[in-house]
């Protein structure tokens, strides 16, 4: 069976904070698709998070760089964390990022990594038809035992679909755990409880990110 390929992959997100699920997604895609370059792009001004408090861009960029420095050496040479959205018009609509990448790379074979839910909701994005014309999609389907199904589109024949293993936790869950770990109430509780929570957090992020967050008192609210 022929291995699918794509010259340039864009993986965007808020990364607030980035976690091992993000890292494992890129590792998994690189193991299953032939890709020359990967750009990890933290969103500078995420339009879908206007009602939510988002951590400062520089913090999210630094954390994302820390996370992807954990990649195996042979994969790390293909992967760059990019600040391209900080140089573009706001808000950070994905079609603008893709247009900038196309100019930068002089390569029209660009794919974008998304989950099944995002793929199903493409029509709610800014300029969805422009998005579909600018790139193909690599879609991580839900695990077999999860609820929900993939919507089919006319574009499906050129997109790449991979089965999504059951990776850990969303950023929201992680933020709550980090806040709890740094709370006074837990500090006054037993050391045992704090160490148990730390061990659970370290299943979701590398120790380098954990230490950066604690030292800078991030997600401490």
DSSP string, 148-188: --PPP-GGGGGSEEEE-------HHHHHHHHHHHT-HHHHT
Q: Verify cis geometry, omega within 30 degrees of 0, for the bond prior to 213.
A: no
Query: Is 220 a domain residue?
Result: no
Tens digit of pLDDT for each residue in 180-220?
998 866 665 666 788 899 999 999 999 999 999 999 999 98
* Together in a domain, 43 and 133: yes
| Final residue of a structural domain among 144, 163, 182 | 163
* Together in a domain, 98 and 187: no
Q: What is the pLDDT at residue 154?
A: 44
Task: Tell me the residue range of the domain where 200 lies.
Answer: 171-215
Considering its fold, how many domains does the chain have in total?
2
Q: What is the pLDDT at residue 38?
A: 97
Per residue in 71-103, is it b (16+ CB within 10 Å) or e — as a string? beeebeeebebbebbeeeeebbbbbbbbebbbe
Tens digit of pLDDT for each residue in 119-144?
999 999 999 999 999 999 999 986 54
Tens digit of pLDDT for each residue in 72-130?
888 989 999 999 999 999 999 999 999 999 999 988 899 999 998 899 999 999 999 99
Q: What is the pLDDT at residue 51?
A: 61
* Together in a domain, 152 and 200: no
* Together in a domain, 26 and 130: yes
Tens digit of pLDDT for each residue in 159-173?
999 987 776 667 888
Query: Is 57 a domain residue?
Result: yes
* Together in a domain, 147 and 211: no
List, in sequence order, every residue forming a beta bridge with 85; answer none if it has no partner: none
Is residue 36 classed as helix, strand or coil in its secondary structure?
A: strand
Q: Angle, to 10 degrees, between the axis of helix 20-32 and the axis of helix 57-68? A: 50
* Together in a domain, 66 and 134: yes
As a whole number, the mean pLDDT across the chain is 88
- The structure tokens 């370059």 sit at 37
| Final residue of a structural domain among 120, 143, 163 | 163
CATH number at residue 155: 3.40.50.620
* Together in a domain, 94 and 193: no
DSSP string, 37-103: EEEEEE-SS-GGGTTS----HHHHHHHHHHHHTTS-HHHHTTEEE--GGGGSPSS--HHHHHHHHHH
Strand pairing category for 110-115 and 5-13: parallel
What predicted TM-score, i.e. pTM, was given to this entire model?
A: 0.89
* Together in a domain, 23 and 104: yes
Q: What is the pLDDT at residue 164?
A: 75
Query: Is 221 a domain residue?
Result: no
Query: Is 78 a domain residue?
Result: yes
Q: pLDDT-derived band of residue 68, with 50, 70 and 90 as boundaries?
A: very high
């Amino acid at each position: 069976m022929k291995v699918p390929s794509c010259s340039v992959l864009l993986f965007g997100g808020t990364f607030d904070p980035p976690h091992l699920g993000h890292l494992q997604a890129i590792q998994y895609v690189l193991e299953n698709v032939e890709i020359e370059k990967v750009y990890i792009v933290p969103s500078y001004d995420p339009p879908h998070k206007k009602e939510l408090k988002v951590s400062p861009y520089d913090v999210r960029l630094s954390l994302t760089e820390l996370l992807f420095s954990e990649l195996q050496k042979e994969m790390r040479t293909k992967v760059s964390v990019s600040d391209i959205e900080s140089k573009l018009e706001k808000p950070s609509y994905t079609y603008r990022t893709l247009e900038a990448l196309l100019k930068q790379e002089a390569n029209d074979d660009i794919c974008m990594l998304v989950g099944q839910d995002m793929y199903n909701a493409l029509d709610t994005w800014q300029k969805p038809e422009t998005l579909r014309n600018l790139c193909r999609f690599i879609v991580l389907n839900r695990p077999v035992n999860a609820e929900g199904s993939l919507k089919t589109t006319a574009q499906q024949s050129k997109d790449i679909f991979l089965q999504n293993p059951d990776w850990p936790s969303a950023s929201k869950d992680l933020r709550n755990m980090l806040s709890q770990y740094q709370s006074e109430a837990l500090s006054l509780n037993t050391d045992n409880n704090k160490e148990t929570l730390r061990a659970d957090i370290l299943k979701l992020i590398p120790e380098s990110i954990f230490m950066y967050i604690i030292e800078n008192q991030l997600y401490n609210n």
